[in-house]
Structure 1
């Protein structure tokens, strides 16, 4: 049985080596050859895996976006909660190696081209959530879809920056609490207990709750 590292582990090793070199010598001053040598791979292997230096910095995001597409492609009882859980998955990924995430943050912060790409990457998460909500909730007002997607993305980034900017640990519970608040402000928090079959139910919904979410909840209860 082979004990060679998996493709994922080998890829992660290249990313870590690249980030360390960028942090020590600067992004522009670090060559692909130096990264390949530090990671113990050939130059051709590097380009086959990543394409370029910028791609190394954002390799985790490409992987995460693919994973979230798969996750959101499944059936979920509550689409609003599913979007929040997708956000939690991204946060959890970066807490697994917080020091590497912090070094990457410092590299991106100091390179204008990387900052621009980061903005585009954040928008890709927001667009993924937006498209999912529109598909999962037919009839949802597009403004509600994009508004909630932007809110979740902003809340996630705010909590993630606490992790990236300081040495202290930021537990995932902080993000979950913040996302609970976001769902409450948007009027879509899954509050309440299940009604018994013979209960008489009086439904009261916040005025701000999207009509599509009102319809979804009524269908779930009455169906």
Structure 2
């Protein structure tokens, strides 16, 4: 089977499974029913997914790897890189809000799925935290984990507005909220500062030392 055909079959299973879960319940839906509705064999289902729970969270593994690969590249501004990663995840789910809302309806009805969703969210947060520590040597770990947690929380809040409602919530809403977070952490490019907020002429006192060092390295002649 070609990559395109395999991807199409994968997507068909996800759509069919979520429709069945939403209509007749997660526990009441069998693998055989999902495979039949998706037009694939039972063996194909288990080749693509480990079980029914994996179908619900099928996107997460692929998205996490995509974000991991993106962050592994060179970025001039690690703080913005984390925000851009959050936006990329949001755009993925916002591209098909009907599917995202159906997934949400299924997850909130099954405690085991809600627990797994919490774990999935934490994996994004940990990925952002680890990236910042690696990209900004010397960064206070508390700053890294705090920024990672805030970005993740903002993302989840805006995503819930999308999936709990019926209207489109553009990515610009998330972008504006993330820009405010950058301002709060003192790492926004061109952030305004009062004289009392400066350690040296151009850096806010609240800016992490690792970020000051990064900007100095990037702007001072070698």
- Report if TM-score (shorter chain) is over 0.5: yes
Tell me how far 1:131 sits from its aligned partner: 0.7
Residue aligning to 1:220: 218
1:98 aligns with 2:97: yes
SS at match of 1:110: coil
How does the TM-score come out when normalised to structure 2? 0.92
1:6-44 superposed Cα distances (whole Å, 9 cap, x missing partner): 322221111011000000000010001100100011111
Offset of 1:203 from its aligned partner? Answer: 3.6
Counterpart CA distance in 1 for 2:119 and 2:3 is 35
Q: Distance in 2 between matches of 1:182 and 1:6?
A: 41
Secondary structure of the 1:189 match is coil
Q: How far apart, CA to CA, are the structure 2 residues paired with 1:9 and 1:127?
A: 31
**For structure 1, which runs of at least 5 residues remain unmatched after alignment?**
193-201
Query: TM-score, normalised on structure 1?
Result: 0.92
Aligned-partner SS, 2:203: coil
* CA distance in 1: counterparts of 2:3 and 2:69, whole angstroms: 28
Matched with 1:198 is none
- SS across alignment from 2:168: coil
Q: Which runs of 5+ in 2 are unaligned?
A: 192-199
Tell me how far apart the structure 2 counterparts of residues 4 and 115 of structure 1 sit (CA, whole Å): 31
Aligned-CA RMSD value: 1.6
1:205 counterpart residue number: 203
Please state whether the residue corresponding to 2:8 is helix, strand or coil: helix
Corresponding residue pairs, total: 213
Shift of 1:221: 1.1
* In structure 1, C-alpha distance between the alignment counterparts of 2:85 and 2:4, rounded to whole Å: 28
